[in-house]
Every structure is written in structure tokens, then in C-alpha cells.
Chains A and B, each alone.
Chain A
Amino acid sequence: MKLSEDLIEVSVIGGYLGAGKTTLVNHILREASERVAVMVNDFGEINIDETLIDSSNENTISLTNGCICCSLVDGFAAALESVLSLLPRPTRLVIEASGVADPSAIAAHGHSPGLALDAVVVVVDSVRLIEQIADPLIGQTVASQIRAADVIVINKIDLCDTLASVNVELSELNPNALLVYANKAKADLDLLFGREILRTASAAGHMGKFESRTHESAQPILRENLETLIENLPSNIQRVKGIVRLAEAPRIPMVFQLVGRSWELRALADRGKSPEGNRLVVIGPKGSIPIGWDNFLS
């Protein structure tokens, strides 16, 4: 779902060198169904079919599907400024972190005015993960990235014959993250981005694996009711997100994000950019969302 017309949702893509971050960015650009701006370290790694390039200059490439690539060559602040000045505005900003970066430091910028952080997505190489975690030089870097993740994309699973140990390792490092399995980083973008699943897209896109339901209401809600709703969600629900107004501070739009097993409620930096009322979308495996999942809110 779109949180609001004027807001740019931010997804940060982290992960160690070679995990498949750039492959995921390429996948996002190919499959984009919205106007996505990506910030990347290196244009040379972005694999764009020449026929899809609308125009390009030194620091940006515009694609015919409306997406834009921005280079981080002049630094993060300059790149962010150029994304915020794009017209029409992108609906989503995907930031590729460097291979050694702590993605949460970049995600902190996702709460700046005009932006709303969606999730920190960390890509791991399932074939090399166990060895990387044990490596005295890079083990801590890889582990810190995994701990910072809301979503972990477990990549290269068709090449991995130790997936069970990978799962154990990941659940020890970060028991709360949403795990998404992929080959060639072709992760499900509805899960990654927490998008409402339209019936047609669902049938075509994921053979009906996931579904979503939406809650809309006008009156500010009680925090305790929201907490009750979370406690009563089926355990296989993957995401819940939206903007709500709490009875204790009805003028402040609050962004709600549940990813995997952790959730967060944080004010929106740009208070003017959200419609009144509450809107939440829940995403889970097909058949997992009970009718009346949102009864606690009314």
C-alpha cells in the first residue's frame, strides 16, 4: 500500500559483499510497478537493458518505466536532495548500502522529512553465510548487518546444501526478522515492500501464495487495542503496515510497521502529509488472515 500520496517510502538494502544486493536492485528495477528511485554506489553494476534507458547523465539514469537510478558519488546528502527534488515524486526510494555498512545507520535517514522508512532488507549469501560468520575478519560485520535487518533475503538457495544450518544461524542472530527465500535475488517484492496484493497481480505474480487485507477507519484508536490486535495475529502473518492516529495524540500520524516478529510505532516526520484516519494492511500466506482480524480496532 501507499502510506500517503506525497510520501516516499524508503527501503534500505544491506548485506555483505557478494550477497546479491545489486542483483536485488536490478530485480526491483525490472519488476517495479511503481515509480522507484534507487541510490547505488556504482552505476557500472546496474544491469539495465539499453532499450529501457530513457535518458542519462553523469549521476542519474532515467528508465522508460519511470524508475530512476542515482549515484552516491557526491555523497548521501547530495543524492537524497536530488531524489527529493524529482518531479513527479518517486513513491519509493531504495538505497543500496555498501558491503561493509551498518544498514541501520542509513535507515536512520529514512525518517527525515518527506520520507517514511519501510524496512531494512539484508541479503545473505546462503552458500557462504556459515563460513562468513565464522571468519575472524568479517564475521562481526556480517552478524551486525543481520541483526539490523527487518527482512532477510536468503539468497542462492538452489546452490545451498546447508539451508537448515543457515536457518538456525539466522534465527540465533535475529529471531524477529521476516525470512524471504530467493534465487538470483528474485525476492517477492510485495513482501519486501509490504504492498497490498491485488487479486489479479496475486494470481499472475505469485500463483496465489500470499494475500492481503486492509483496515480503514476514521476515529483515533487506542494503543492498547492495537497491541491486542498484534497479540492475536496468527504467527505466520508476515507484515502489517500503515498509518494510524492514536487517541492519546490524534494530531500526530503514526507509522505502524510489523515485519516478521517485531513491530514499531513511530511518528511521521511530515505531519501534514498524511490523510486523517487509520489505514492498515496485513499480508500473510494465502488463507492465513482471518476475517475480522481488525475487530480489536473498532
Chain B
Amino acid sequence: MSDAKVTIFTGKKIITMNPAVPVAQAIAVQGDRILGVGTVEDLAQWGDYELDEQFEDYVLMPGFVEAHSHVMAGAVWEFPYVGFYDRPDPLGHTWSGCQTIAAVVDRLAECERELKDPNQTLVAWGLDPIFLDGERLVAKHLDQISATRPIFVFHASGHLATVNSAMMDRSSIDRYTPTPGVARDTDGEPNGELQEPAAMSLAQDGLSAIGVAMMSSNAKWNYAREARNCGVTTIADLGTTRLTMEGQLEAWHEATSHDDYPARVVVAVGHSDSNLNKKNSNPIVSLAVRLRDEEETAKLRFGIVKLVLDGSIQGFTARISWPHYVNPPPGHPGNGLWLIPPEQLADIVSGYHEAGLTVHCHCNGDEATQVFIDAVDLALQRHPRWDHRHTVQHSQMTTTAQYKKMASLGINANIFSNHIFHWGDQHAAVTIGEERAARMDACATAEREGVVFSVHSDAPITPMSQLHTAWSAVNRLTASGRVLGPEERISVAKALEACTLGAAHQLKLDHDIGSLEAGKLADFAVLEKDPFEVSPKELKNIAVWGTVVGGTPHVASSK
């Protein structure tokens, strides 16, 4: 043992998530690692220590691990929020939800007054028209805010934006604009709504401003602050193609090497079709291997490649098996979209698999899950390899038979449990129907079939908070308050395991994080209440003091 300083933290209760020693009263830390857990008396055997009692009234747990979110969760806060639900920002301010068009206009008018440069575009995010009753927000509403300053409101879906007349003037959008997706009123004049990327990119300084924000240092910091505020100590930015862009890897190093940076980050490399070259090796393989072997630090980790195989269920673009969608919009072709040709997947997966990388594949629909399972099966026949931990991401419609097969192949799942709350009512009524909605995001089936799993927020798609995703997996309450699929509810203990060890396992970090035991990194969530003592319905309401990352406390911004 080295002679570095030992600190013993005490807590009201320390939940270790280590089944061999599940509960402790104190935890000793040396450097950034845990020396041991137990009582202060037990830990005194390690010699001199400093007693830190600041968490005496708090419950300590392993820091939560959010294995599927995006740095975009930090970037969006460069811009004002106009979504329907209240949402806290990384600096601790809670933005109240804008529940009417008037509220959206008031919020934007307030933000407009704060901008000094009269030419600067006002960009906002989070608008979700399906929640706003009555008429749709269009340019004429935004024109009440400013007749001269361009305004760009990015919708929560990511597929639409609404702009004002000043933006249309600046960008030459008028009744003759030929680009499809420029929505029009009954007279043929554009109404300010721009649908899909070709139309959205007509608006100058709109989408591009969001792209710039995603590359910024501030986005990386706000991403980690958002994590800290909800007790998350490790976040996975699941899938980026920006690591090859100039300065981005350096920017991640610069942020995460800072002592005050309050999280560990796993940056997963996004597979891109553009790089697939059958004649030479796939350059993403060599990039991901090099990052894993040469660029890892204590707070910046690699080794994961992200694939996106299908779309989303609520967008009717997920690939789902027969009987497909219950009530798709008019003109829908019947099933969703492939983003990778299904017959190419086995070759793509094999390339990463053979290089020793872990593949996380976005599969919302069960047909996509099946194609990924088959691809892993084939990759394993070609290159037998134990403990690969390839993971089905979202895994929203994965069936019992599929979970059984995943268990036998060693595939993990990361289940999008927050969907039950946010879109569960729509899934039952419109997308996949009652029966399949009752067994979607099937944590209990995954548990029963022996698949190692986690649950996630996909922030910023839903707000980051592992206490909320766990609550959703435990209670399966929808926004309207019904219990959707009670048989798929899991215990609080299992949900907390999913948010700690389960997530750490699929990131191949469970030797370092996910439980509190000697030798692991000293990453804790500091909670005001014991999640095993509160009513399961209160899980999401437990207040978070902050986190400890590598032995360093980071207080949440709301404190």
C-alpha cells in the first residue's frame, strides 16, 4: 500500500451493490480508488486517515452509470428551452414547461431582449407541438417577438424547425421556394415550419448553430454537470462521428483531464456507411482500436462502436415484425426504415468483433433486434470470442425468444425504460397496440432470461436521471398515470443494479465502477434518501446532493 493520504467518508448508509458486502457505514478512499468499505473501526486497519463526515446524513451508492446518452444533452443548453415539461439545466436552473403557444412566445421574447447583437439569430429547442392544444405554432406567432431578428425553434423530434418571417426573409424562403418540406398555408405562402434536413438547412444559422454548439467545450462541461446533478458519475456519449474532426479528441482530453470535470465519459465511435471499404480495412476499426489502446485516461474511455440499424417507434420508422404498426399515418409504407442494409450487418459487426471491440447496436424494433442477433451469431461462428458484451441498444420490442438467444450468445441489453412514461400511452393506442406495448421495454423478461441489462434516458431525448429510468422500470407508469404491462415491472434492487453494475458491464468497466468495493474507483452518488426505504413510486423524487468522482466531491448545481 502506498503512503498517500487516506480519507474515510461516513454516511447514513452506504449501499455497495456488492452482494457479498451489501451495506456499510464507512468507505475509505486513497487517491481515486476505494481502499475498503465497512465500519470506521474496520477501515482503521489501513493506518492513518482523515475522517470526512460531510455525508453523515446522506445515503451513498455507487455512482450511476448512464450507458446511452449524447453530448448533445450538454449542447442544447446553449439555447433557451421551450419544451412542454419542466426541465432543469446543468447549472441548476429549472426551466418551466411552456404549455401554451403564448408561453412559448413569452419565453422567447424574454430571451430576445437579452441578446445584444441585433443580427444574432435566436435559436431555441425542445418544442413538441403534439402537447400544445389548438393551433400549431407558426411564423406569425414568432413574428410577435421580433420583425427583424431571425428566430429558429428546433423541435424535440429533431425533424422539424419553426422560423419567423425575418428568418425567411434572410434565407430567401418564399412561396416559390422549391425545396420540399417548406410547409405552406392554404394560400401557398410558407408558414414558417421547415420539415426534415433539406428544408431546415435553408434557414441560415439555425441547424449550423446547433452543430457548432455540439463541438464546443461548454457542451462537454454541461454534459458532465447534467450527469453530476442527477448522481451519474459515468456517461456514455453513444455514437459520434466527430472524433475525427480537427480538435475534437483534444477537446475531450482537455475537458476530462480537469480535476473539476465531474464525470467519466465513454465516447463511442459511430459507425458510418461512408467509411466502409470492402477492398481495404474499415478505418473506423483502426480508429476505435487506436483510441482504446492509446488515448484512454482515468476519465476518458473508449472501446465501443455504435451502429444504428433502424428508426424510432413513435416516428413509425422502427423495423418491427408482423403485425407491424396498428395505426400508422396515411401514406406510411407499412414498416420502418433500415439505416444499414440488413444483409451487410454481419460483415460490419464481424469487422469490429474480430478487432476486439464491443458493438452497441440501436435496435428499436424487434425485427432490427433479430437482424443484429443473427449478425452477432454469425460473427461468433467466424471468430469465436468470449465475453464480447455486444449490446442491443433501446431493445424496446425484444421478445422472450430473442432474450433467450441473447443470453446464449452473451449479448447485453440497454432498455429504453423512459419510453413507458414519455410515449407509453401513444404506443398502446397508436404505434404497436396494447399487447405489445404491455411487453415493450421488457426488463422483467430480460432478467428472467438471464440477460445482463441496463436502462437509459438517451438524453437529451428524455432528461438524464437514472433515478427516473429506474422508477420507470419499477413502476411502468405512463404520462396519463396507467400502469402499462405490470408483469414487466422489476424490483427496486434489480433496477438499481441495472443503473450501476449492469451499465458498467456493457461498457466493459465493471472492474472499475458500478459497485463500491476495495480496488474500484471511488465514484459515488450522494442521495438524500435511501432508495430501498422510500416508496417505489417516490424513487424519481429522491433529491441528489451530487457525486464523488475518483474521491473528489462535486456538489449538484441546485445545492
A108 to chain B, nearest CB (A): 3
Binds B, one of A180-188, A237-245, A261-269: A261-269
| Residues A168-195 near B (CB distance < 8 A) | none
A73 to B198, CA, bound (A): 18
A118 to chain B, nearest CB (A): 13
Q: Which residues of A contact B274 (CB under 8 A)?
A: 41-42, 71-73
Are B371 and A105 in contact (CB-based, < 8 A)? no
| Mask: chain A, 34-54; 1 = CB below 8 Å from B; 0 = not | 000000011111000000000
Whether A17 contacts B180 in the complex (CB less than 8 A), given A45-B279, A77-B201, A112-B202, comes out as no
Binds A, one of B117-125, B296-304, B334-342, B493-501: B334-342
Instruction: Please tell me the size bucket of the interface on A.
Output: 35 or more
Q: Which residues of A contact B280 (CB under 8 A)?
A: 44
Are A100 and B199 in contact (CB-based, < 8 A)? no
Are B202 and A100 in contact (CB-based, < 8 A)? no
Instruction: Tell me whether B343 is interfacial, beta carbon within 8 Å.
Output: yes
A52 to B244, CA, bound (A): 29
A42 to B280, CA, bound (A): 11
Residue of A nearest to B335 (CB): A140
Which one of B176, B335, B343, B344 has the highest number of Cβ atoms from chain A below 10 Å of its Cβ? B176
A113 to B173, CA, bound (A): 11
Are A269 and B179 in contact (CB-based, < 8 A)? yes
A271 to chain B, nearest CB (A): 8
Whether A42 contacts B176 in the complex (CB less than 8 A), given A102-B337, A105-B198, comes out as no
A150 to chain B, nearest CB (A): 14
A16 to B343, CA, bound (A): 11
Are B333 and A144 in contact (CB-based, < 8 A)? yes
Q: Which residues of B contact A16 (CB under 8 A)?
A: 341
Q: Which residues of A contact B337 (CB under 8 A)?
A: 100, 102, 141
Are A108 and B277 in contact (CB-based, < 8 A)? no
Instruction: Tell me whether A74 is interfacial, beta carbon within 8 Å.
Output: yes
A44 to B245, CA, bound (A): 21
Q: Which residues of B contact A271 (CB under 8 A)?
A: 176
Q: Which residues of B contact A269 (CB under 8 A)?
A: 172, 177-179
| Residues B155-204 near A (CB distance < 8 A) | 172, 176-181, 196-199, 201-202
Residue of B nearest to A40 (CB): B274
Residue of B nearest to A265 (CB): B178
Q: Which of A17, A42, A137, A255 contacts B277 (CB 8 A)?
A: A42
19 CB contacts below 8 A, A to B, read A17-B344, A41-B273, A42-B274, A43-B277, A44-B280, A73-B244, A100-B339, A108-B179, A108-B181, A111-B177, A111-B178, A111-B180, A112-B179, A117-B178, A137-B371, A138-B343, A140-B333, A268-B178, A269-B172
**Interface of B toward A, CB cutoff 8 Å:** 172, 176-181, 196-199, 201-202, 208, 241, 244-245, 272-280, 333-335, 337-344, 367, 371
New A-B pairs, 15, CB < 8 Å, besides A100-B338, A108-B199, A141-B337: A17-B343, A17-B344, A73-B272, A74-B241, A77-B208, A98-B273, A100-B341, A104-B180, A105-B196, A109-B198, A111-B178, A112-B179, A137-B342, A138-B342, A269-B179
Top 4 nearest A-B pairs by Cβ distance? A44-B277, A108-B198, A267-B176, A111-B178
